[in-house]
Structures are given as structure tokens and as C-alpha cells.
Amino acid sequence: MSEKLKIILTEDGSHSLYNEDLKETYHSFHGALKESVHVFMLYGLDSWLMENPTKKPLRIFEVGFGTGLNAWLTLVWAEQNQIPVLYHTIEPFPLSEEIYSQLNYGDLDDGFFHYKPYLTRLHKMEWDKGAVVSEYFNMKKEKTTLEEVTLYPSDVVFFDAFAPSKQPELWEKQLLEKIYESMNQGGIFTTYCAQGKLKRDLKEIGFEVESLPGPPGKKEMTRGWKK
């Protein structure tokens, strides 16, 4: 995959990227911010918190750091809820400063203003090293692939790979199984994808699978629980 990337504006006013080689966007055209909030914050973090109403540290694994939107929204969530988060993310194709410095996420809501500088900090952080980013948010960003990475135990997994039609190898059952094995009991696997094969594979691996209402423009999404 080369880095032929263009910044695009999605329907909720938030930026995303278009990969010209894959002919694929990093988020939904119907709203990058809305999609991230819905799939990963609402059905990932908020659901975890409802099941675990304590202040114990939350371990998250993300497939595909990309624009950093999910990581940055999680930092905001961690600070607002005062829940310590250990965030592990991987990305084989980091963005250039020219691209990430233009992303408009920090300007989209008055409540984000205070957190705006953190998006750049997340991108500038050294690869392959854990670091304290803010009071409640620690992150390790590895420049590697899902195929290669060694996983830590996690409570919530943000599966945000490109669509199965564009990058089928990342949705292979054996990689999903690798994630399942690494997850803690009670863990949540959440993704925007609603494909039948994914749901069948997740069930066979051992997840309790739910089809949930999708973000704007999508009927459904998928969530798996490791019970």
C-alpha cells in the first residue's frame, strides 16, 4: 500500500482520508466523527463502563491507528470519565505530518477545545514505546501489522481495519482468533462491519455476537463479547 492519501470532508463536517490505491476511505462518508463515537465510544467504551462501573484501568487494543481519531476520542473519554486507559494501537503506514496536522477533529465541538493539542501529540509520539500522554491516558503505538503484533490482554478491541472487500486478509478467522485469545473475560470486540461471514466466524471462535444499529448511513454493525 503506498501513501496516496487525500483529506476529505465527511457529512458531519469531520475529516477523513481517501486512499487512492485501495479506493477506500478511512471512515464512513456519512460522518467520521459520528461513526467513531457510535461504534467505538458508545458500543465499546460506554458499554464496558456499564458492565464494569469501577475505576479500574481499561485496556484497549486498536487495529489501525490511522488518523488517530479513535485514540484521541478515547483520551477525551478517559479524562472525562476519570478512567485510566492503557491503549495499544498498531499502524504499518503512519501518516505524514502534512496530513495529520490538517485534521479538524479538535475544532468540531466546544467540548473538544481543551483536548485539541493531544491529537498532534499522539501522532508525534515515538513508535514502539509506551508513554503517559495525559493524566488518564497511556498509549503504546507500534509500527507493525496485525499479522506480526504480539498482543497484550485487552478489555475492549476496536477492530477498525479497511473493509473485508478491500483488505480480506485482516478479517481472516485465524487473526480474529488471535485477538479472542488475547482478550480478558467480559471483553468487547466492536467493529463497524456487519458482514455475515464475520458474524459466523466470531461465533465459531467463541464470541457472543450481537448485531446492533449502525452509525449514520449503515443499518447494522457487529459486537462480540468474550463471556
β-pairing verdict for 58-63 and 85-90:
parallel
Range in contact with ligand SAM (rule: CB under 6 A) among 67-75, 76-84, 104-112, 129-137:
67-75
Q: What is the grid cell recorded at 134?
A: 495525559
Among residues 72 and 82, whose Cβ is nearest to ligand SAM? Answer: 72
Range in contact with ligand SAM (rule: CB under 6 A) among 45-53, 58-66, 76-84, 218-226:
58-66
Tell how far CA 113 is from the center of its chain: 21
**Which position among 78, 83, 85, 146 is part of the footprint of ligand SAM (CB under 6 A)?**
146
Among residues 69 and 83, whose Cβ is nearest to ligand SAM? Answer: 69
- CA–CA separation, 166 vs 173, rounded Å? 16
The candidate with the shortest Cα–Cα distance to 103, out of 44, 33, 157, 168, is 33
- CA–CA separation, 9 vs 178, rounded Å? 35
Q: What is the grid cell recorded at 49?
A: 463502563
29 forms part of the interface with ligand SAM (CB under 6 A) = no
157 forms part of the interface with ligand SAM (CB under 6 A) = no
Q: Could you tell me the smallest distance in angstroms from the CB atom of residue 90 to ligand SAM?
A: 5
Q: What is the grid cell recorded at 199?
A: 458474524
Among residues 130 and 164, whose Cβ is nearest to ligand SAM? Answer: 164
β-pairing verdict for 58-63 and 154-159:
parallel
**Which position among 33, 122, 170, 179 is part of the footprint of ligand SAM (CB under 6 A)?**
170
Quick check: 87 and 122 in contact, CB under 8 A?
no
β-pairing verdict for 15-19 and 5-9:
antiparallel
Q: Interface mask (CB under 6 A) for ligand SAM, residues 77-106, using x and -?
A: -------------xxxx-------------
66 forms part of the interface with ligand SAM (CB under 6 A) = yes
Range in contact with ligand SAM (rule: CB under 6 A) among 43-51, 113-121, 135-143, 160-168:
160-168
Handedness of CA 168, 148, 157, 25 (dihedral sign): negative
Give the residues lining the site for ligand SAM (CB under 6 A). 26, 63-67, 69-70, 90-93, 145-147, 160-162, 170
